Amino acid sequence: MTWSSMCMYLKIAVAIFIILLFVVMVLAAIGKSLGVREKYVEILLWAFEYGREKIEKAERKNNKKDSSEVEDEFSERNSYSTSVISRAVKLHPESPGPRKFSRTMSRTLETLNREFQLDDAMEFVKAGMEAIIEDEVTQRFSAEELPSWNLLTRTNKNYMYINLKVTVMWGLGFCLRYLILLPGRLILFFMGVGLLTVFTAAIGCVPGGNDRLKRWMYWHISLMCFRILSQAISAVVKYHNSENRAKGGGICVANHTSPIDVVMLASNNCYALVGQRQGGFLGFLQRALGRATAHIWFERFETKDRTLVTQRLKEHVENPEKLPILIFPEGTCINNTSVMMFKKGSFEVGGIIYPVAIKYDPRFGDPFWNSSKQSYVHYLLMMMTSWAIVCDVWYLPPMTRGEGETAVDFANRVKSEIAHQGGLVDLVWYVH
């Protein structure tokens, strides 16, 4: 093959790639789909199942164990865990430690004094401290472990190499995600952010007194841009009971797993956002959105800001012409397994509450953002190099505060409904 023919084939491939991106962007902008992503998810599920079967066969062959023993070990090793402590030692009455220490009824005090040393108790003290540290709440701030490997090394490194076939499958998947999907997703991402920035700036230039026109423009531009951004992470979202979507002047509350929760919801409805003022890339997006419509950003530790937020929320819900407000009452990201205690502020202002439950499928990519360990750019890169982001969104019937019901009780009632619908654990502790 000559150099000129190679260049020609490369140009053809690039042209096809650009055309496909253009088609994806146009379909996303108008809210249409050809069903390719759904087929892609089905193929991934087949690949995961194939890999799981190969892992089990490799375990049987390498360890020479019968089928039942392998099943038990595989299930124990890969069972769901959000452990924040890595335990290298398991305490068991029969397991030998540094010194095998067993008590019998016939052992005398003199023998115990001679054989017992202080560090014999250290493993028991360590286990007690781990039990205190690793409570039910703390585990919700660690990424959940999958029951089987999804060919992403960051979810289960123990099964990086099983056999040649699985390794080849992993290599092909790596090339697909990093050499084909990632460049296309990056282009879609920058296109979505660029369009959002330009159009929101244009809306901000519309003269005052044209609020209805500005709302109409923002509604369509917001939906278009957020749908394009959702394609940048290959989002496959199934919306349930869309007739219960939040309406103007209401407050939409949802459980919180990741900043991309906003993208998932804003691809199907238009919202005024409420949240903590951020710096960096998130701050850039906040400023862009703030030019087009009234969003509420506050400093986390400023009491005056919080009082102002409550006042603005009350004014907002009294005007049915305004966009519904989107709030995540937990105030922090939880790892897609539970719902934490809702802060009562958004339930004190009155108005109609529109609950939403969001549940991600972690087999295709873990959406949880651990902000203490990952920057937002790093997190976005992880999302764009995952297989896809698959989730279900349930719009629950609107709820109002009952007569004599406190804001805390109302918040707990809404939280319970969201947890039940999303199949999440309903936790009762506050997050400080």
Q: Over the stretch 137-146, which tens digit does the pLDDT of each residue have?
A: 556 556 666 7
pLDDT digits (tens, 9 = 90+) for 309-358: 778 788 888 888 888 999 999 888 888 888 888 888 888 888 899 999 99
pLDDT digits (tens, 9 = 90+) for 28-86: 777 777 888 888 989 988 888 888 887 777 777 776 655 444 445 444 444 434 444 44
Domain end among 53, 74, 95: 74
Specify the pLDDT at position 396: 95
Kindly tell me if the per-residue pLDDT of 247 is higher than 70: yes
Q: Do residue 69 and residue 201 come from a single domain?
A: no
Q: Do residue 180 and residue 59 come from a single domain?
A: no
Kindly tell me if the per-residue pLDDT of 188 is higher than 60: yes
Q: Do residue 189 and residue 290 come from a single domain?
A: yes
Lowest mean pLDDT, pick from 69-73, 201-205, 384-388:
69-73
Specify the pLDDT at position 133: 59
Mean pLDDT of the chain: 78
Domain end among 23, 49, 74: 74
Q: Do residue 301 and residue 410 come from a single domain?
A: yes
Specify the pLDDT at position 299: 72
Domain end among 56, 74, 92: 74
Q: Do residue 179 and residue 70 come from a single domain?
A: no
Specify the pLDDT at position 109: 55
* CATH at residue 239: 3.40.1130
Q: Which has more pLDDT, 1 or 204?
A: 204
Q: Which residues form the domain of 52?
A: 40-74
Q: Is there a domain that residue 25 lies in?
A: no
Q: Do residue 243 and residue 392 come from a single domain?
A: yes
CB-count exposure of residue 239 (10 Å: 0-12, 13-18, 19+): middle
Any bridge partners for residue 276, and if so which?
298
Q: Is there a domain that residue 228 lies in?
A: yes
Q: Is there a domain that residue 107 lies in?
A: no
Distance CA 342, CA 63 (A): 48
Q: Do residue 54 and residue 199 come from a single domain?
A: no
pTM for this predicted structure: 0.76
Distance CA 360, CA 143 (A): 13
Q: Looking at the 3D structure of the chain, how many domains does it have? A: 2
Give the mean pLDDT of 417-422. 92
Give the mean pLDDT of 281-287. 82
